[in-house]
């Protein structure tokens, strides 16, 4: 048990170390950072002094160590483009992305699971087949196009909902979290982006729940439950759905990373002031400190999700435990 | 049986027409329709300079007075421009044809790159096994757990940091192809590795080793032809994904240069005019993109079911 967990932790640390190394090596590609900071008429002595102060004359390993220990404390340096600490920039944008992503995940679960159950139970029904065909079309239309079509329909033609920004935000939790959930305009602004972001996940969850339901409905214990004379409702929801949820929960967990990635696109369409747009601007401006920080944060996010999923599997599935004890690796 | 001997040898066309594959293809009307649409779109965009009513990149032929015309069937439309014109007077139909050519070109080349990388690494991992296999598959696993678009964006950002800004316009297409190609090799590698591990133990491989043929020759000349089966299916399925990724990156402004737009660029340009009611500048390229991706997807799905029922 301890061996498995510590092995898994060591693996995660190794991945984080490699990502940090890649992120740090990016700094080497853009040339001398001093040139971005000084004025034209700075003397050679001034440049040398600045190099010494900034630690650029130290060996690379020392600089790398300084970068890592800074990153652990949330210090990622100063953005070339915004001229502000990257940590502060990210802290500002984090709430916007988390509220958007959180609401989308919630929406996709609340819509995707019932639709999946419905299409799974009425496999050959007209409604279920129409939904399946629709979901294939939904997968083929790229996220940004769905966003644009929603804007055209609800903002341009109908004029019901705002097409960009977060609306009014209110500061909560002692001043560091700006939320859009407490104002009318904030809530209205959330509707279109969260639907756009949720659509792909919804179809994914729907298809997965459908497939799992089809599998479960064929099993013996469902036949047995029928034979016992249980009602349809009890069989469908208490016996069948319950047993489909395990893989569904796992996939939703792993999909969290996807939501963060697709948030980059949604934020760009709706000019949402979140982390994704910050990262995109950084790519366009070749703003290395922001790019590196985003890289490290995303990697951390994925590593933590994967670690939790693996450990949860380990806790639930006894077969993994015996394998781990014997020391044989599993995929 | 003697009866079969007396029958005439069927012609090649007859054999093709009555093969399992052709029957499965023709019995699925959706697939036939999708294949026809996809083929038409690909042919029309490859021959864009012949098919398109105008050349949107010939500055002499465009007239600013033709700008923002709605589609020809709408009020104020012009019969010369079936799908209307954009802000500088280029016909939308023509820009779509030239734009799809760019999208398809980048999609095909990046899939070819993924195929090359994936097949090579898969062959090496499957044939050699051991440490090199562990390293390659570990990298593949990490990459597979990240969404393609994120990997492509990260590679794109890194390449942009490496390339000097002044040369960016020239290398933008190369950067794009590299970032899409490098983010899609894993599926190829996994499929090839799995079948290589099976082939490795076959008699013909042992025979080749016994007569002293080199490892590289065994991998590429002897094993490769036998593991290429699922590759075509994966390539088709990846093509629609690559076209989508390209469109997304170009939409986000980190794709093709503005002088050589793809469908994604056209859609992005069009969004600026959405609020003035000129929906056609954005919606038509969007429909073209969705149609292209959907039809290629449908053909790919059919191929997977018909050729490789076991392929995930």
The model's confidence at residue A236, banded by pLDDT at 50, 70 and 90, is confident
pLDDT digits (tens, 9 = 90+) for A103-139: 998 999 899 888 988 888 887 888 888 888 888 777 7
Lowest mean pLDDT among A17-26, A209-218, A270-279, B43-52: B43-52
For the cut 60, the answer to whether the pLDDT of residue B2 exceeds it is: no
By Cβ distance, the residue of A26, A152, A258 closest to B161 is: A26
Mutant choice from A28, A145, A291 vs B, greatest count of B C-beta within 10 A: A145
Whether A306 sits inside 8 A of B282 (CB atoms) is no
What is the per-residue pLDDT for B298?
Answer: 86
pLDDT digits (tens, 9 = 90+) for A27-84: 776 656 666 666 666 677 777 777 777 677 777 788 888 888 877 877 787 777 777 8
CA distance A81 to chain B (A): 14
Taking the Cβ of residue B290 and every Cβ of chain A, the question of whether any pair is shorter than 8 Å is answered with yes
For the cut 60, the answer to whether the pLDDT of residue B246 exceeds it is: yes
For the cut 60, the answer to whether the pLDDT of residue A327 exceeds it is: no
The model's confidence at residue A322, banded by pLDDT at 50, 70 and 90, is low
By Cβ distance, the residue of B156, B275, B277 closest to A283 is: B156
By Cβ distance, the residue of B147, B294, B297 closest to A258 is: B147
For the cut 70, the answer to whether the pLDDT of residue B310 exceeds it is: no
By Cβ distance, the residue of B274, B286, B294 closest to A156 is: B274
CA distance B55 to B95: 8
Phi, psi of A179 (to 5 degrees): -110, 150
What is the per-residue pLDDT for B106?
Answer: 92
What is the per-residue pLDDT for B108?
Answer: 94
Average pLDDT over residues B186-201: 89
Could you tell me the pTM of the whole model? 0.81
In the three-class reduction of DSSP (H, G, I as helix; E, B as strand; rest coil), residue A238 is classed as helix
CA distance B162 to chain A (A): 5
Range with top average pLDDT, A100-114, A314-328, B108-122, B266-280:
B108-122
For the cut 60, the answer to whether the pLDDT of residue A325 exceeds it is: no
CA distance B66 to chain A (A): 24
The model's confidence at residue A330, banded by pLDDT at 50, 70 and 90, is very low
Domains of chain A: 9-72 (no CATH), 86-330 (1.10.3720.10)
Question: Which residues of chain A neighbour B289 with C-beta distances below 8 Å?
Answer: 142, 145
Phi, psi of A178 (to 5 degrees): -100, 120
Left (φ > 0), alpha (ψ -120 to 50) or beta: where does A173 sit?
left
Q: Which long-range contacts (CB under 8 A, 24 or more apart) does B15-24 make?
A: B20/B306, B21/B306, B21/B307, B24/B302, B24/B306
- Per-residue burial over A281-294, b if 16 or more Cβ lie within 10 Å, else e, is bbbebbbbbbbbbb
- Measured from the Cβ of residue B106, the count of other Cβ atoms closer than 10 Å reads 26
- Per-residue burial over A236-253, b if 16 or more Cβ lie within 10 Å, else e, is beebbbebbeeebeebbe
Question: Which residues of chain B neighbour A141 with C-beta distances below 8 Å?
Answer: 290, 293
Question: Which residues of chain B neighbour A22 with C-beta distances below 8 Å?
Answer: 158
Q: Give bridge partners of residue A171 from the DSSP assignment.
A: A178
Question: Which residues of chain B neighbour A200 with C-beta distances below 8 Å?
Answer: none
ipTM, two decimals, is 0.76
pLDDT digits (tens, 9 = 90+) for B259-285: 788 888 888 888 888 777 778 888 888
What is the per-residue pLDDT for B267?
Answer: 86
Q: Which residue is listed with tokens 């898969």? A: B122
Range with top average pLDDT, A167-171, B29-33, B43-47, B243-247:
B243-247
Whether B157 sits inside 8 A of A282 (CB atoms) is yes
CA distance B232 to B241: 14
By Cβ distance, the residue of B146, B162, B254 closest to A283 is: B254
Is-contact B142 A306, C-beta < 8 A?
A: no
Is-contact B239 A256, C-beta < 8 A?
A: no
Residue B58 or residue B94, greater confidence: B94
Percent of chain A with pLDDT over 90: 2
By Cβ distance, the residue of B149, B254, B290 closest to A141 is: B290
Question: Which residues of chain B neighbour A163 with C-beta distances below 8 Å?
Answer: 275
CA distance B101 to A127: 38
Domains of chain B: 109-307 (1.10.3720.10)
CA distance A149 to B283: 8
For the cut 60, the answer to whether the pLDDT of residue A329 exceeds it is: no
Closest by CA to A55, choosing from A65, A40, A42, is A65
Residues 116-175 of A with CB under 8 A from B: 136-137, 139-145, 148-149, 151-152, 156, 163
Whether A140 sits inside 8 A of B275 (CB atoms) is no
CA closest to A154 among chain B residues: B275
CA distance A64 to B309: 50
For the cut 80, the answer to whether the pLDDT of residue A253 exceeds it is: no
Mean pLDDT of chain B: 82
Q: Give bridge partners of residue A179 from the DSSP assignment.
A: A170
Question: Which residues of chain B neighbour A164 with C-beta distances below 8 Å?
Answer: none
Residues 213-252 of B with CB under 8 A from A: 240, 244, 247-248, 251-252
Mutant choice from B139, B147, B249, B257 vs A, greatest count of A C-beta within 10 A: B147
For the cut 50, the answer to whether the pLDDT of residue B177 exceeds it is: yes
Whether A280 sits inside 8 A of B274 (CB atoms) is no
For residue B269, how many C-alpha atoms fall within 13 Å in the half-sphere facing its CB?
25
By Cβ distance, the residue of A30, A261, A279 closest to B147 is: A261
């Amino acid at each position: 048990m301890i061996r498995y967990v510590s092995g898994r932790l060591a693996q995660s640390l190794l991945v984080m170390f490699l990502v940090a190394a890649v992120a740090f090596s990016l700094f080497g590609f853009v040339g001398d950072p001093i040139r971005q900071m000084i004025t034209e008429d700075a003397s050679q002595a001034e440049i040398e002094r600045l190099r010494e102060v900034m630690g650029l004359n130290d060996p690379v390993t020392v600089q790398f160590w300084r970068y890592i220990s800074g990153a652990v404390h949330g210090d990622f340096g100063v953005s070339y483009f915004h001229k502000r600490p990257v940590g502060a920039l990210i802290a500002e944008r984090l709430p916007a992305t988390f509220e958007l992503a959180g609401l989308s995940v919630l929406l996709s679960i609340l819509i995707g699971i019932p639709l999946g159950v419905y299409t799974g139970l009425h496999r050959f029904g007209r409604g279920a087949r129409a939904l399946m065909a629709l979901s294939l079309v939904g997968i083929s239309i790229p996220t940004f196009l769905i966003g644009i079509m929603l804007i055209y329909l609800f903002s341009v033609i109908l004029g019901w909902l705002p097409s960009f920004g977060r609306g009014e935000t209110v500061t909560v939790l002692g001043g560091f979290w700006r939320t859009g959930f407490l104002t009318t305009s904030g809530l209205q602004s959330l509707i279109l982006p969260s639907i756009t972001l949720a659509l792909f996940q919804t179809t994914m969850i729907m298809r997965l729940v459908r497939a799992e339901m089809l599998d479960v409905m064929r099993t013996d214990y469902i036949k047995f439950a029928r034979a016992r004379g249980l009602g349809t409702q009890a069989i469908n929801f208490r016996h069948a759905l319950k047993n489909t949820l395990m893989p569904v929960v796992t996939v939703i967990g792993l999909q969290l990373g996807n939501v963060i990635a697709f948030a980059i696109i949604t934020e760009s369409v709706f000019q949402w002031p979140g982390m994704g747009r910050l990262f995109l601007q950084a790519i366009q401006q070749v703003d290395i400190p922001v790019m590196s920080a985003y890289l490290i944060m995303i990697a951390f996010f994925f590593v933590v999700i994967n670690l939790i999923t693996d450990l949860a599997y380990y806790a639930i599935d006894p077969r993994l435990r015996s394998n781990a004890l014997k020391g044989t690796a599993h995929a | 049986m003697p009866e079969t001997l007396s029958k005439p040898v069927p012609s090649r066309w007859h054999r093709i027409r009555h093969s399992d594959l052709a029957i499965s293809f023709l019995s699925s009307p959706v697939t036939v329709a999708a294949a026809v649409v996809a083929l038409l779109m690909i042919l029309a965009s490859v021959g864009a300079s012949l098919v398109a009513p105008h050349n949107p990149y010939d500055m002499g032929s465009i007239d600013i007075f033709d700008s923002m015309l709605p589609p020809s069937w709408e009020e104020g439309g012009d019969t010369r421009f079936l799908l209307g014109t954009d802000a500088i007077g280029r016909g939308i139909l023509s820009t779509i044809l030239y734009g799809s050519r760019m999208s398809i070109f980048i999609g095909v080349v990046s899939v070819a790159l993924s195929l090359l990388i994936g097949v090579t690494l898969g062959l090496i991992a499957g044939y050699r096994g051991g440490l090199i296999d562990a390293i390659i598959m570990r990298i593949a696993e990490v990459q597979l757990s990240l969404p393609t678009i994120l990997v492509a964006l990260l590679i794109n950002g890194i390449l942009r940091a490496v390339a000097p800004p002044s040369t960016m316009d020239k290398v933008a297409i190369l950067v794009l192809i590299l970032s899409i190609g490098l983010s899609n090799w894993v599926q190829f590698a996994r499929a090839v590795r799995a079948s290589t591990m099976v082939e490795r133990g076959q008699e013909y491989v042992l025979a080749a080793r016994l007569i002293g043929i080199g490892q590289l020759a065994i991998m590429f000349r002897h094993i490769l032809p036998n593991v290429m089966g699922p590759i075509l299916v994966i390539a088709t399925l990846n093509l629609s994904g690559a076209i989508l990724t390209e469109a997304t990156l170009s939409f986000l402004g980190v794709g093709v240069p503005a002088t050589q737009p793809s469908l994604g660029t056209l859609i992005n340009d069009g969004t600026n005019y959405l609020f003035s009611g000129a929906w056609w500048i954005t919606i038509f390229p969007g429909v073209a993109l969705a149609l292209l991706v959907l039809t290629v997807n449908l053909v790919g799905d059919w191929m997977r079911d018909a050729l490789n029922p076991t392929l995930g």
